Amino acid sequence: MPSTRHSAMGLSSSPSATILVALVLMSFLYARSWLRMQRASPSAVPGWRLASFLFGMSLVWAAVGSPLAAYDHELLTVHMIQHLLLMTFAPALILLGEPLLVFWQAWPRLGKVLGLHFGRPSARQFARMLSHPALCWTVPALTLLGWHVPALFTLGMQSQVWHFVEQVSFFGAGFLFWWPVIQPWPSVSTEPKWSTLLYLFLATLPCDILSGFLVFSDRVVYPVYFSMPRHFGLSVLEDQQCAAALMWTCVTVVYLVPAAILSTRLLSPRSFHNGGLVRSELCADTMAHGDLHTPEAV
Q: In terms of Cα–Cα distance, which of 92, 273, 107, 254 is closest to 184? A: 92
Say yes or no to pLDDT of 174 above 50. Answer: yes
* 14: confidence class by pLDDT, cuts 50, 70, 90: low
Give per-residue pLDDT as tens, 181-220. 999 988 777 778 889 999 999 999 999 999 999 999 999 9
What is the per-residue pLDDT for 22? 92
160-172: average pLDDT: 93
Say yes or no to pLDDT of 270 above 80. Answer: no
80-97: average pLDDT: 96
What is the per-residue pLDDT for 31? 95
C-alpha to C-alpha distance for 98 and 37, rounded to whole angstroms: 12
* 2: confidence class by pLDDT, cuts 50, 70, 90: very low
Give per-residue pLDDT as tens, 227-249. 888 888 899 999 999 999 999 99
CA atoms within 13 A on the CB side of 141: 16
C-alpha to C-alpha distance for 197 and 133, rounded to whole angstroms: 12
What is the per-residue pLDDT for 191? 78
Say yes or no to pLDDT of 9 above 50. Answer: no
C-alpha to C-alpha distance for 40 and 195, rounded to whole angstroms: 36
C-beta of residue 72 within 8 angstroms of C-beta of residue 9: no
Give per-residue pLDDT as tens, 108-139. 776 676 666 666 777 778 778 888 999 999 99
What is the per-residue pLDDT for 113? 67
160-185: average pLDDT: 94
* 30: confidence class by pLDDT, cuts 50, 70, 90: very high
